[in-house]
Amino acid sequence: MKKALLPLLVVVLFYSDSVFMIFFSEQAFDGAYVPVPRFFFIGLLFMSVFFDRNTAIKYGFFFGFLFDMFYTGLLGAYFFFLPLLVYTTSKLTKWLHSTLPVFFVIILFDIALLEMMIYGLNVLVQRTALSFEQFAYVRLLATLVLNGLFYIVFAIPLRNAFLRLKKVFD
Amino acid sequence: MPQFFTNKRLIILLGSIILLVAMIGFSLRDRDNITWPEKFVKDVTGFGQNIVSKPAGVVESFFDDVRRLHLTYEENEKLRTHLEELAQLESDVARLEKDNAELRKVLEKEKSLADYEPVQATVIARNPDRWYEVITIDQGESNGIEPDMAVMTASGLIGKVQSTSKFTSTVQLLSARDSQNRVSVLIQGKATIYGLIEGYDEEKKMLQMTKIPSDSKVTKGQAVTTSGLGGVFPKGLVIGTVTELVPDEFGLTQTALVQPAASFYDLEHVMVSKREMTSILPEEEDRQQVLIEEEGL
């Protein structure tokens, strides 16, 4: 029964992004900064390190697909990038010790990478006219700050949750 | 250094890159509506989204109300002055509507391009990655919503329905950057001027109205509404006011910057308008543009 808590936690994380957007005014900072919530992605990375990598990749595929279909309509983007980044992160954390401060840097790096890949894809399919400098200034910095704050608040609860779930599954 | 990619993983990677390209190509294709697996996924995800976002929306609007509480007095004063004008306006509208209906009966033209049935909807999600200007609403095919219907708020047109599933639909806003995002509009003045809303100026936060004949005189502050000629939107939906006029790059036509009447941000409740008259039977004076299309057939 306790095993059902894992999908539940992931579903909560999945919807947390859009719930954040309900509370957060889109015109904050007069549109000068566009922070993007990546809470689900952070949760997924925690899962890959503190729970199990392959499960995280499967969840990444599945929920990335849902994200593509439900929110963006551009099929394939998150479906592909989320598992890829989970995989590279798990490789990175094998070389670096995954203490929470080190993991903080890794996660910010991953989010920056995800943002840049999504930006690149949008340029490729001509859905945006933003130049890279504008993108870096308007979106990337704000996104890193927002998700950094999220990490600082939720890192320890998330880690504990996944460690406890790992015990349940073992 | 351990080997990063083994053979098997390389094949998986290459395979998924091919899949990625194929799927992106598939979703960018010009299509009327999404396929049934997508509809199914949207309904299931939308069901969860409904459960999450409705309570969140209630809490959010409660805080909004509290924030507005101290403005109540000023607002009340303003509304009171409007109220006096409203009584007169209401009786005028009732009289004109009756006149209009009678005259239509005389002409035997019961329907017009301006008729529509509004369907109320609540916004349940806005794309959290904030790249595409799309929102998801909680009304779908079961309530008679179809792709290409006009979506508006109380203050004006905001976009059109892009795709529908049984219980949700996706709305593309006017500010979305998409070459197919076009609306046939007119500027009301002494002579009616037609044009297209095409594109959005991100920096100035203005819509661009293109294809205005170079000899037509447009003044600042004129109202822009839908023309009903595109065959999609009803006639007469407010879009905004003209703020600036610039010649286009070849000097053959002009482009006007239009200040949108409705805000595209922080949307909560919207209306989807089901147009009643779907065949194109233009008024005598509006006919010229449509005739060209008919000749082409």
- pLDDT per position as a tens digit, B161-211: 988 999 999 998 888 877 777 888 888 878 888 888 888 887 788 888 888
Q: Which helix (H) or strand (E) holds A123?
A: helix A100-124
Phi-psi category of B155—alpha, beta or left, where left has phi over 0 and alpha has psi -120 to 50? alpha
Q: Assign A32 a pLDDT band (cuts: 50, 70, 90).
A: confident
CB pair distance less than 8 Å for A128 and B24: no
* Residue to test with chain A: of B4, B30, B131, B163, most A Cβ within 10 A: B131
Angle at B93 between CA B241 and CA B184, to 5 degrees: 35
For residue B27, give how far its alpha carbon lies from the nearest alpha carbon of chain A (Å). 6
Pairing assessment for the beta strands B193-201 and B150-153 based on DSSP bridges: unpaired
Domain boundaries, chain B: 36-107, 182-260
- pLDDT at residue A112 in the model: 95
Question: In this model, does residue B226 exceed pLDDT 60?
Answer: yes
Phi-psi category of B34—alpha, beta or left, where left has phi over 0 and alpha has psi -120 to 50? beta
Phi, psi dihedrals of residue B272, rounded to the nearest 5°: -105, 130
pLDDT digits (tens, 9 = 90+) for A53-71: 899 999 999 999 999 888 8
Burial class from Cβ neighbours inside 10 Å (0-12, 13-18, 19+) for residue B138 reads buried
A40 or B180, greater pLDDT:
A40
- pLDDT at residue B276 in the model: 66
For residue B103, give how far its alpha carbon lies from the nearest alpha carbon of chain A (Å). 46
Nearest CA in chain A to B162: A73
Q: Is B163 on the interface with A (CB under 8 A)?
A: yes
Question: In this model, does residue B147 exceed pLDDT 80?
Answer: yes
ipTM of predicted complex: 0.82
Instruction: Provide the CATH topology of domain B182-260.
Output: Thrombin, subunit H (2.40.10)
CB pair distance less than 8 Å for B23 and A75: yes
CB pair distance less than 8 Å for A118 and B131: yes
For residue B81, give how far its alpha carbon lies from the nearest alpha carbon of chain A (Å). 30
For residue A7, give how far its alpha carbon lies from the nearest alpha carbon of chain B (Å). 13
Phi, psi dihedrals of residue A70, rounded to the nearest 5°: -80, -45
B88 or A2, greater pLDDT:
B88
- Chain A positions in Cβ-Cβ contact with residue B178 (cut-off 8 Å): 127
Phi, psi dihedrals of residue B277, rounded to the nearest 5°: -100, 115
Query: What is each CA distance from A37 to A14, B123, B141, in whole angstroms?
Result: 11, 19, 30
Q: Which amino acid is at B7?
A: N
- Chain A positions in Cβ-Cβ contact with residue B34 (cut-off 8 Å): 73
**Average pLDDT over chain A, rounded to an integer:** 89
* Distance separating alpha carbons of residues A107 and A105, to the nearest angstrom: 5
Mean pLDDT in residue range A12-28: 85
Q: Is B250 on the interface with A (CB under 8 A)?
A: no
* Distance separating alpha carbons of residues B211 and B190, to the nearest angstrom: 19
Q: Is A30 on the interface with B (CB under 8 A)?
A: no
| Strands in chain A per DSSP E | none
Q: Which amino acid is at A82?
A: L
Q: State which of A92-96, A108-112, A120-124 shows the largest mean pLDDT.
A: A108-112
* Distance separating alpha carbons of residues A26 and A136, to the nearest angstrom: 18
* Distance separating alpha carbons of residues A12 and A40, to the nearest angstrom: 9
Nearest CA in chain B to A39: B128
- CB pairs A-B closer than 8 Å: 114
CB pair distance less than 8 Å for B45 and A66: yes
* Interaxial angle between packed helices A53-67 and B36-68, expressed in degrees from 0 to 180 and rounded to the nearest 10: 80
Widest pairwise Cα distance in chain A: 50
Q: Is A102 on the interface with B (CB under 8 A)?
A: no
CB pair distance less than 8 Å for A72 and B53: no
